[in-house]
């Protein structure tokens, strides 16, 4: 199986001598192609720092990180910019859609920037819009659609260029439970049918129960790992809750 992400002894500190805060220490993990991995932990545990480093927004203080076989730690800013565009897909809590563009134009933007032929863009956008159930709103503007529709549009934009790794940062954080479930089911379908590799940071056990594997971080260190394997989603949800309880937080009412 192909390894998409490999982190070796990653450390991250902030501050200067005498006032140093250690955000991550001795992080070793790998994500294989086709995995749907959740990252969980209490507030301040290091989840966001880890995501920022993997997404190339920030750099580690020490350690190695390879994504799809490329060392992102040694890249200069120009190469990182190309790498982000070609290899990574991002789904943010706040959508990050451009209000001056229609939903369709927002989705196709990564393809247009990569100079993909117009005919291919049309096919790709329609396929993904169907997968996320947003074909009827392609010609609408973001301010005319619901939060759930915005997030599905943002997810469509994240995957339209077939990235090696999709990074989702609290993607259900601003959604009601129905919209959250719809998005999570779409991501799960995408993972199963396209073998898309997804890493999702979340504080929500319900969202994490859609993952195949959940990695828990506490005080900047890897704390525990759960594998769904043959468990039902409800059983996996309960296991996640138990670990979160031992860490001191995280719940969701519905399963």
pLDDT in tens, 75-111: 999 999 889 988 999 998 888 899 999 999 999 998 9
Model confidence, pTM: 0.90
Which among 73, 78, 128 has a CA at the least distance from the CA of 103?
128
CATH number at residue 137: 3.40.50.300
What does DSSP assign to residue 41?
-
In a domain, 253, yes or no: no
Q: What is the mean pLDDT of residues 240-245?
A: 96
> Over the stretch 187-226, which tens digit does the pLDDT of each residue have?
999 899 889 999 999 999 999 999 999 999 999 999 999 9
| Chain length of the chain | 255
Instruction: Give the span between the Cα atoms of 108 and 223, in whole angstroms.
Output: 39
**pLDDT surpassing 70 at residue 245:** yes
Residue 255 is assigned to a structural domain of this protein: no
Q: Count how many domains the chain has.
A: 1
Angstrom distance (rounded) from CA 193 to CA 178: 22
Number of C-beta neighbours around residue 229 at 10 A: 8
Question: With 80 as the cut, is the pLDDT of residue 255 above it?
Answer: no
Residue 254 lies in a domain: no
Pairing of strands 70-71, 62-67: antiparallel
Question: Residue 252 domain-assigned?
Answer: no
Q: With respect to residue 170, please indicate whether it lies within any of the assigned structural domains.
A: yes
- DSSP class of residue 232 equals -
Give the structural domain span for 42: 3-247
Alpha-carbon distance 143 to 137, whole Å?
Answer: 12
């Amino acid at each position: 199986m192909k390894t998409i992400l490999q982190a070796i002894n990653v450390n991250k500190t902030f501050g200067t001598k005498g006032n140093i805060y250690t955000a991550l220490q001795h992080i070793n993990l790998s994500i294989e192609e086709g995995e749907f991995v959740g990252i969980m932990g209490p507030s301040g545990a290091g989840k966001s720092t880890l995501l920022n480093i993997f997404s190339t927004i920030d750099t580690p203080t020490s350690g190695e990180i390879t994504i799809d076989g490329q060392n992102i730690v040694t890249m200069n800013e120009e190469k990182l910019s190309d790498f982000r565009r070609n290899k990574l897909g991002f789904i943010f809590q706040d959508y990050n859609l451009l209000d001056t563009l229609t939903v369709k134009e927002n989705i196709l933007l990564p393809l247009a920037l990569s100079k993909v032929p117009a005919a291919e863009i049309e096919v790709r956008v329609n396929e993904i819009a169907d997968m996320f159930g947003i074909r009827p709103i392609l010609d609408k503007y973001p301010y005319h659609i619901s939060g759930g529709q915005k997030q599905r549009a943002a997810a469509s934009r994240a995957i339209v260029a077939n990235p090696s790794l999709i990074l989702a940062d609290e993607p259900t954080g601003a959604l009601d439970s129905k919209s959250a479930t719809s998005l999570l089911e779409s991501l799960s379908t995408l993972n199963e049918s396209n073998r898309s590799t997804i890493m999702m940071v979340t504080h929500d056990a319900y969202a994490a129960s859609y993952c195949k594997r959940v990695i828990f971080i506490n005080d900047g260190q890897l704390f525990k790992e759960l594998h769904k394997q043959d468990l039902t989603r409800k059983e996996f949800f309960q296991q996640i809750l138990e670990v979160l309880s031992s860490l001191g937080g995280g719940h969701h009412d519905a399963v």
